[in-house]
Amino acid sequence: MLTKDQRRTILGSNRHLNRMPTGVIDAIAEQAEVLDFAKGAVIFNRKDSSVKCYILVSGHVSHPEVQAAEEQFSIARETTTQGQLFGWAAAVDGLPERIISARCDVPTRVLAFDGKWFQDLCRSHGEPGLRALQDLVRSYAGHERKIGGRHGWLSLRNVQKVYDPLGKATVAVDGCSIEIRPGEFCAIVGPSGCGKSTLLNAVAGFDTITDGEILLDGECINSTKIMPKPGPDRIVVFQHGALFPWATVLENMIRGPIVQGKMTKAQATKRARELLAQVGLSTIEDRYPAGMSSGMCRRVEIVRALMNDPRVILLDEPFRGLDALTKTVVHNALLDMYEMNRKTVLFITHDLEEAIYLADRVLVMTTRPGSIKQTIFVDLPRPRPTELLGKEEFLQLKDEAIAAVHEEAVKAFEAGEREMA
């Protein structure tokens, strides 16, 4: 067996963990269990559900899925150094399954600890713990992109936006850091005027930021140094819809790929018809937006976004102004499309219930200045049927979320009142 000091030394030799507060390492040393694996044993497989993280004590673990090592993202083909962390997926918010497997080439000893517990541990250590966890997640997201070949890792780092039109600086967003993994459905909820749309505009490239940077798949798309440029890798579905009223549904669909030169007109038309057929909208391809219901327009607009094969879909309160019945229909259409094609989604809304129903993770944003105050993990399985809205587990999650958000909302409201007075 290993003594506590030995464990602490091993953990301390990990370059991620040694940056964390000492309390974290102590707690892991206390809690982690020592596991021994024989030669040839499988510690975990690809697509296993991710529960535990591992620190190598001795031995040799290989990851056959890794093609090439990427030092900057802590990606290795094998884990051979004492103190090295593997099985990251468990340490990452809401990632349900492993992306790579781990096999023992020789008899191997590891320290294992629960991933969820580890996340909570980090968060309980305030700002330093949170930052360390974020670093870890950041490394991981890059890792996931490289290994899984998946696009759409969105990384907002310390983003700030100050509007200063008349010398009266208004801080819309400050110190906002968000990591969104490829394929994750992430919602940002907040009262109107809290800066959620500012954030979305910054990601979309419609607006500049005054500090920090935004990266998409490790590439800088917005910072103080560059002029942001909107592009087809980040398609926005707007609050009131932006289907071109002068073009038919089909023309709206095919325009993007054609102007980008990605497809010929015939190819685009074929693809558009396929997509429309998949969502049951084949009959409306020759209609103009003015002749359709707003629910239908929103559905077409979401399909139009998919048509461009973006890395991230940005939804700016797309369901605002729809009646409740239409809303559920469009929600389900959106969920279906998400199942069909797991793109990264950044979803902005002021409706908490909608956010919980749709997203994997709900970030609560508060106003003055806008920043992320709370994260709610939505641990509901997909696909999510409409009946879920009435189920106990959903209601419970919603109640918890409302309680959590309410406190912040009251605080923000009072702060606002004070400012007014």
Partner 1 sequence: MTAGSEKASLLWVRWSSRLRSPVFWQGLLGIATFFAVWQIARWIGWMTIIPSPVELAAGIPEEIERAGYWQNWVDSGRRVFTGFGIAALLAIVIGVAMGMSNRLRALIFPLFEIMRPIPPLAWLPLAILFWPSSELTMIFLTFIGAFFPILLNILVGIEKIDPRYKQAALSLGSSRGAMFRRVMMPGALPSLFTGLTIAIGITWEVVIAAEMASGTNGLGYMTWDSYMTHSMVGIVLGMLSIGLAGMASSWVMRLVGEKAMPWRRR
The residues of the shown chain that bind partner 1, judged by CB under 8 A, are 204-206, 230-232, 234-236, 238, 240, 242, 244-248, 255-256, 259-260, 288-290, 308
CB of 365 to partner 1, least distance (A): 22
Nearer to partner 1, 204 or 363 (CB): 204
The answer to whether residues 141 and 182 touch, using CB atoms and an 8 Å cutoff, is: yes
Phi, psi of 402 (to 5 degrees): -65, -40
| Cα dist from 165 to 82, 170, 269, whole Å | 55, 9, 44
Nearer to partner 1, 117 or 288 (CB): 288
CB of 185 to partner 1, least distance (A): 20
CB of 330 to partner 1, least distance (A): 18
CA-to-CA distance for 227 and 218, rounded, in angstroms?
Answer: 17
CB of 343 to partner 1, least distance (A): 14
Q: Look at the block and give the residue holding tokens 């620190």.
A: 55
CB of 287 to partner 1, least distance (A): 10
Nearer to partner 1, 151 or 368 (CB): 151
Nearer to partner 1, 255 or 327 (CB): 255
The answer to whether residues 198 and 170 touch, using CB atoms and an 8 Å cutoff, is: no
Cα angle at 111 between 105 and 116, to 5 degrees? 115
CA-to-CA distance for 214 and 125, rounded, in angstroms?
Answer: 26
Burial 13-34 (b: 16+ CB within 10 A, else e): ebebbeebbeebbebbbeebee
Nearer to partner 1, 308 or 366 (CB): 308
CB of 139 to partner 1, least distance (A): 30
Segment holding 288, helix H or strand E: none
Nearer to partner 1, 29 or 214 (CB): 214
Nearer to partner 1, 236 or 335 (CB): 236
CB of 405 to partner 1, least distance (A): 29
Torsion of CA 161, 193, 153, 100, to 10 degrees: 130
Q: Which of 72, 79, 131 is nearest to 105 (CA)?
A: 79
**175: three-class secondary structure by DSSP:** strand
